[in-house]
Amino acid sequence: MFKRLIATTMVLVGSGCQPDVSEQAQAELMANSLQMQYELISNQAPNGDNSVCLELGAEWATCNQFDILLTANDNGVISSNWTIYFHSVRRLLDIKSDQVTVVHHTGDFYEMRPTADFSGIQAGETLRIPIIGEFFEVGKSDFLPGAFVVVGESEPRQIVAMDTEDLNAIVLDIPETELQRTSDEASVNETSALRYEQNIALGDVPAAAAIFPTPVSATFSDENIAVPAGFQFSQVELSAGAFDALTISADRQGIELNGEFPIIAVIRESDFADEAAVSGAYRLSITPDGVGVSGFDERGVYYGLNTLFGLMNDQHLPLGDVLDYPRFDYRGVMIDVARNFHSKEFILRLIDEMSFAKLNKLSLHLTDDEGWRLEIPGLPELTEVGAERCFDLTEQDCLLPQLGSGASTDNFGSGYYSRQDFIDILRYAQARQVDVIPEIDMPAHARAAVVAMEARYNRLLAEGDTMGANEYRLIDPADTSNVTTVQYYNRLSFINPCVASSTRFTEKLLFEVASMYRDAGVRLGHWHFAGDEAKNIKRGAGFQDIASNELVDFKGAIDLSNEDYPFEKSPACQILIDDGVISSAAELPTYWAEKVSEMSVAAGFPVFQAWEDGLKYADGAQDFASEQVYVNFWEMLAPGGSSTAYDWAAKGYDLVISVPDYLYFDFPQAIDQQEAGYYWATRANTLQKVFGFAPENLPQNASNSVNSHGHGFSAESDRSVQDFAGMSVQLWSELVRTDIQAEYMMYPRLYAAGERAWHRASWELDYTPGTTFSLNDGLVDQQAIQKDYTLFLATLGERILPRLHQSGANYRLPLPGGVISEGELKMNTEIPHFGLEYSVDGGVKWERYNASETVVVDVDSVLARTVADGRYSRVVIISSK
């Protein structure tokens, strides 16, 4: 085991190079001529012998087999003076080749070099390098682009064939036999025929809903009134920023606000009582004499006016009344801009769409191991080093490449928001009734900050400023704890909570971020501490001690005597244990959370927020200095989370349901190897699954969904009734590299989440202790869900997505469903009002599909795609098989 996983360096040259050709020229040559690809061989252990995975120390003794293919296209590779640096989101456990060795640097960053036995690669030939990796590979996005080459002391050069977002170019098709992770997995891979049958089951297409999200009540007569000259405000109680945002929204919809039809829009709390007396509530009345809007607050006025604009149809308005208010106060979106950076323009477009869907909390995950994305005055290294990823093994100028970012800084791996950018975002969001929540991850997921502050330490130390060097240093230099984080970093992934400089650093951050809010004129609200995953995975349940006399066959065997908990060997933290402040190092994340809560209150942030595991050693919300403590609950509902969520709420926390198996948008949108995303909690979070989520009665979701392996599960309502503060969707960005990809993952699922966060459907049952739900149990009205979903799809296709299309944002077009039956091609699509096209000649010529005509084809399979005003879905195959 591990026979070829060694620490070293390496470089790459071509056979066509003459001895006097420079190393740089050799690197250029090889970068342009070498092809590198991945091929999944099996998602099982070699020869089905699971003891191999166990002995290699694979978590849960699960491993897969894949090959790296190196093809010399124009020039052979004969020198031993080359290095390829590449990325893998799975731990590489063993390499079965005498030709090359592979070494892990940190995170997903690896290097490969030839051995003394390397026999070269002749032009046109392929070297196949068998590798055993951890876990599974059932989607092409499990493999990362971004490999680059170094020759001797040359500058790195991206391998051109790997500098792509077309994963089909670098990942061979995964065999159908390997599309399920285990022999007992019941997940069904999506096909065109399956989509066709599912689309037929949706039934007839209704007219689009008049109001989105669905209001509490809306009563309209059969009459309408013409408004050809547009609207004129007689009175409007909105801030200047909100009115400007409203004007822009109206203009995009072609609505005139300097017209004639009068609008009175006022804040009047007295119009609302009981459950309607909440932020965002509004009343809308449309009469022949004009429009009246009253809001519980400015947010309600803004929502009411946008609802009015949405009712405009060919310069006509229906006459009637609307009463509307949200089910949740917290209707959230979390976007990770740390792992891979997403532009300011992307964020502003997202805010527009959140506002349209009446979503009101945007949590910006600004920092993580792979990047720091916010300028902090006085700490330039945070962005000069921590916001950049490039090839610098010393990490004094930038972080090491991660997540396919490659050698250079001119891509998604690098970037940050300046102080002014962030102020602009705050103001833009406030005008559109969206609260921005800064999330600065600590004590774990903090490698970008730690490395940046080490670069600062080294710079100031070299200048002779020892005191300044130590002022914001985030480690205990005497800490020798051996840890492996969830994403394979060492102890430099953690801010040490036991050293005074970490407190100074955090106070500095809080002060600087608070000043940005104040300069933007935006009220301070939530401070998101994150706090998640402060652990050594090798101390987790998926591993066992290799010295044990009772080894089991489903856990990786490792030397546990060599594994520590975070901070376990930090002398500074040992002092806290000796003094009785904490009883063990395991309590340090919660200890630090309580300290940061105190600091955030002092900085002016009244609300503290964290992911649940960061607070697990606290007794409840009363342990914190903050007025309110919000917790993002992110356990999987199956198994267990459908019960434990209520335990967290019972501790006094304002619980935000953020469960991965329904609300993580970095998960695939279908069970299909071409759909990107992680799948550790579920194989897919489809549009229909998000729409059908029941966020208040969590056990109910067992009635119409399956667990991570495709099996039905049972969920008992075995806790007392608790209220939740809201729900949030999450888009983590490890596998989401570009803005275009982020929008593909976000839309249209965002609108399904907006519907559920705002409106409680008739088919959502009250939480009743003692009730047990299971798949197809008959307890939930599935016909009502389908009816609502069909209406939602019609609204998407007719109103929402055409509007999004005009904004220029990317979104996922539904894939065609289809069959060829006795020579007749039949096609459909989940979301109506889109066109369909097919090709019988491999895509040379495309024909428009017309469902009202019989389409006869004389081939066994056709290519098909959905089309929307010049945009196309991914091409799929429809066959007669």
Q: What is the pLDDT of residue 588?
A: 97
The answer to whether position 210 is within a domain reads: no
Q: What is the pLDDT of residue 257?
A: 94
In angstroms, the CA 99 to CA 323 distance is 71
Are 817 and 879 in contact, with CB atoms under 8 Å apart?
Answer: no
Q: What is the pLDDT of residue 7?
A: 33
DSSP strand E in 126-243: where? 126-134, 148-151, 157-158, 217-226, 231-236
Residue 170 has a CB neighbour count (10 Å cut-off) of 23
In angstroms, the CA 51 to CA 61 distance is 8
Nearest by Cα to 139 from 187, 88, 180: 180
Q: What is the pLDDT of residue 21?
A: 60
Residue 384 vs residues 164, 388, 418: alpha-carbon distances, Å: 26, 7, 12
Residue 450 vs residues 89, 407, 453, 496, 537: alpha-carbon distances, Å: 22, 21, 5, 9, 20
Q: What is the pLDDT of residue 15?
A: 38
Residue 484 vs residues 106, 504, 508: alpha-carbon distances, Å: 10, 27, 29
Run of H or E including 596: helix 588-603
- Choosing from 39, 384, 533, 587, the catalytic residue is 533
**Same domain membership, residue 823 and residue 752:** no
Which range of residues forms the domain containing residue 118?
A: 23-178
The enclosing domain of 100 has a CATH number of: 2.60.40.290
**Same domain membership, residue 715 and residue 864:** no
Q: What is the pLDDT of residue 549?
A: 95
In angstroms, the CA 496 to CA 588 distance is 9
The enclosing domain of 699 has a CATH number of: 3.20.20.80
Residue 323 vs residues 220, 233, 234, 282, 285: alpha-carbon distances, Å: 12, 21, 21, 6, 9
Q: How many Å separate Cα 250 from the centre of its chain?
A: 31
The answer to whether position 463 is within a domain reads: no
Name the domain count of the chain.
Answer: 4
In angstroms, the CA 291 to CA 268 distance is 15
Nearest by Cα to 524 from 379, 627, 410: 627
The answer to whether position 788 is within a domain reads: no
Run of H or E including 65: strand 63-72
The answer to whether position 781 is within a domain reads: no
In angstroms, the CA 340 to CA 810 distance is 18
Cis peptide before 668 (omega within 30 of 0): no
The answer to whether position 14 is within a domain reads: no
269: which DSSP letter? G
**Same domain membership, residue 615 and residue 700:** yes
In angstroms, the CA 104 to CA 95 distance is 12
**Same domain membership, residue 136 and residue 81:** yes
Nearest by Cα to 675 from 608, 735, 733: 735
Q: Is the dihedral of CA 702, 707, 711, 715 positive or negative?
A: negative
**Same domain membership, residue 84 and residue 160:** yes
**Same domain membership, residue 283 and residue 148:** no
**Same domain membership, residue 597 and residue 567:** yes
Does the annotation mark 190 as catalytic? no
The enclosing domain of 254 has a CATH number of: 3.30.379.10
The pair phi, psi for residue 819, each rounded to 5°, is -145, 160
Q: What SS3 state is found at 463?
A: coil
For the chain, list residues with pLDDT below 50.
Answer: 1-20
**Same domain membership, residue 650 and residue 741:** yes
Q: What is the pLDDT of residue 19?
A: 34
Residue 608 has a CB neighbour count (10 Å cut-off) of 28
**Same domain membership, residue 521 and residue 501:** yes
